[in-house]
């Protein structure tokens, strides 16, 4: 309770920018991630990193032109960690490709990112960042389409426990590939995590964008979509960056979505395509959110 009391005594607001799935591979270059410098702005800049960064790992399942030829195993060179420095502050490594190079590959990825000042959340270890005198915790999990009640209760308990020390963000790799709508189970779990004290639930995994739901003091992005993929293993370009501030009480305020055209073997970029804006607005309003479009951004209330 001491941590919660301190949060209510005028703690400085913290700005978060979150994007979805980022894949870096042997064909990647720094140009693929350079736009993140302007797309992700704030105190905490987040992406879901699909695949390890290792010296000895080997990418497989891809032809020379980047198209899939079989089961995918991702790997990017260690230098990719340097490309993310100053552009990303925290990543989720809880996803279906995190162990493509085994536990050793995951550990090497965490170490390489840490050397560049980037914090990693895995399925067993939270990421922690100090920002504006506050401790921000990032919890990450990869969930199957059907998870157990025990998994759900354990995650809710983890949020309640860590919330005592400061704001909590929850990254979830979940959902069905290609789906535009979350399931009722996803909505129920996300709501429970916000009720347990999480400021935001940041979803990814389907590669498609899904709507944004305001739930009490928190915000839920069911799927942020892709941000950039070096391989030709996805065709989903519609995506967005979720931006918000964490206020002194740990609530998400000034929430907005910035539509993106994901970089598929090319750099990502902002888009004001009215069809993408309308899609994100409709998906969010269907979840009960009040949405206003201003300057190509979607303001979520």
Split at pLDDT 50, 70, 90, the class of 6 is very low
Contact between 222 and 203 (Cβ < 8 Å): yes
CA-based angle 268:269:271, to the nearest 5? 135
Q: Is the pLDDT of residue 9 over 80?
A: no
pLDDT per residue as tens digits for the range 160-191:
999 999 999 999 999 999 999 999 999 999 99
pLDDT per residue as tens digits for the range 203-226:
999 999 999 999 999 999 999 999
Q: What average pLDDT is seen over the chain?
A: 94
* DSSP state letters, 109-167: HHHHHHHTT-EEE-SS--EEEEETTEEEEEEEEE--SS--HHHHHHHHHHHHHHHTTS-
Split at pLDDT 50, 70, 90, the class of 107 is very high
Q: List the domains of the chain with CATH numbers.
A: 2-300 (3.60.21)
Burial class of 288 by CB neighbour count within 10 A (0 to 12, 13 to 18, 19+)? exposed
CA distances from 124 to 81, 111, 199 (A): 21, 15, 20
What pLDDT is attached to residue 10?
A: 65
pLDDT per residue as tens digits for the range 233-261:
999 999 999 999 999 999 999 999 999 99
Across-strand partners of 8?
none
Give dist(CA 131, CA 140) in Å, integer: 19
The model carries a pTM of: 0.95
Residue 234 DSSP code: -
First to last CA, the chain: 28
What pLDDT is attached to residue 70?
A: 86
Give dist(CA 286, CA 239) in Å, integer: 17
Contact between 152 and 189 (Cβ < 8 Å): yes
Cβ burial 178-209 (10 Å sphere, 16+ → b, else e): ebbbbeeebbebbbbbbebbbbbbbbbbbbbb
DSSP H/E element including 18: strand 14-23
């Amino acid at each position: 309770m001491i941590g919660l009391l301190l949060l209510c005594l005028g703690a400085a607001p913290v700005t978060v920018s979150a994007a979805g799935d980022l894949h870096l591979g042997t064909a990647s270059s720094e140009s693929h991630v350079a736009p993140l410098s302007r797309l992700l702005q704030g105190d905490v800049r987040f992406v879901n990193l699909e695949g390890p960064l290792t010296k000895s790992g080997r990418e497989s399942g891809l032809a020379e032109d980047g198209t899939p030829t079989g089961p995918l195993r991702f790997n990017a060179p260690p230098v990719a960690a340097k490309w993310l420095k100053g552009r990303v502050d925290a990543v989720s490594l809880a996803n279906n490709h995190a162990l493509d190079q085994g536990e050793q590959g995951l550990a090497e990825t965490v170490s390489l990112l840490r050397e560049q000042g980037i914090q990693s959340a895995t399925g067993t270890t939270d990421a922690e960042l100090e920002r504006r005198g506050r401790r921000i915790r990032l919890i990450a999990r990869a969930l199957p389409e059907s998870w157990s009640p025990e998994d759900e209760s354990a995650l809710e308990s983890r949020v309640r426990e860590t919330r005592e020390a400061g704001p909590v963000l929850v990254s979830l790799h979940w959902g069905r590939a290609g789906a535009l709508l979350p399931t009722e189970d996803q909505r129920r779990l996300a709501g429970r995590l916000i009720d347990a004290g999480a400021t935001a639930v940041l979803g990814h995994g389907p590669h498609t964008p899904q709507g944004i739901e305001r739930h009490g003091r928190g915000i839920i992005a069911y799927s942020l979509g892709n941000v950039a993929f070096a391989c030709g293993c996805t065709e989903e370009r519609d995506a967005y960056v979720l931006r918000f501030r964490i206020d002194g009480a740990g609530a998400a305020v000034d929430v907005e979505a910035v539509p993106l055209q994901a970089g598929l073997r090319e750099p990502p970029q902002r888009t004001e395509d009215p069809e993408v804006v309308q899609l994100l607005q409709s998906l969010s309003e269907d979840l009960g959110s009040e949405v206003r479009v201003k300057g190509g951004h979607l303001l979520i209330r």
